[in-house]
Amino acid sequence: MEQKEILSKVDHTLLAQTATWEEIKVICDDAVAYQTASVCIPPSYVKQAAEYLGDKMPVCTVIGFPNGYNTTAVKVFETADAVMNGAEEIDMVINLGWVKEGRYDLVKEEIQAVKKACGGKLLKVIIETCLLTEEEKIRMCRTVTESDAEYIKTSTGFSTHGATIDDVKLMREHTGSDKKVKAAGGISSFADGEAFVKLGADRLGTSRLVKAAKAQQ
């Protein structure tokens, strides 16, 4: 695959706790220059980034990040606020405790509530695969398939590890064909990106591929 094709599937990401507006502006500029799918940034910068970018690049942000144990009401408020501020895409973290308790009904209800707050904007559901058993991953694939979310996503990148080949294979196998898959965390090279795309990942959450492209110039 050409690098341009892989970059077109990248959510160019900066979610570090210490991220400054000057750093966010740089990744916004790079996302436009390298024609990524979106720029994924902290909620506090969404309004500035949306105003800065205009219609040049969709702004993606994260909800209930990175632990997912906020109440549903908080996640709904965060989502509505982000959309009001100009977010076009929302990546939410599920309540992992509910998964451990087998409360997939509550997980689905929360996804649906957040999706409603998206107001038609794209929703990706982060299931944090590194903290789940194989059966829990499969059940979450089914839960997201039954929901109105557009994507299932592997990882926050803030836990024990990010996307793996096996997890993306599992997601593609057990998630409905109308749902898309986002691999995130630990994608450090174009070879990694191509491997995930060939397995069925529709999006890649990473900061490293744009950096790699810049380094080649």
Catalytic residue IDs: 91, 153, 182
Q: Of 25, 72, 80, 71, nearest to 50 (Cα)?
A: 25
Give CA–CA dist 17/107, Å, rounded: 27
H, E, C per residue of the chain: CCHHHHHCCEEEECCCCCCCHHHHHHHHHHHHHCCCCEEEECHHHHHHHHHHHCCCCCEEEEECCCCCCCCHHHHHHHHHHHHHCCCCEEEEECCHHHHHCCCHHHHHHHHHHHHHHCCCCEEEEECCHHHCCHHHHHHHHHHHHHCCCCEEECCCCCCCCCCCHHHHHHHHHHCCCCCEEEEECCCCCHHHHHHHHHHCCCEEEECHHHHHHHHCC
Whether 68 and 95 have beta carbons less than 8 Å apart is answered as: yes
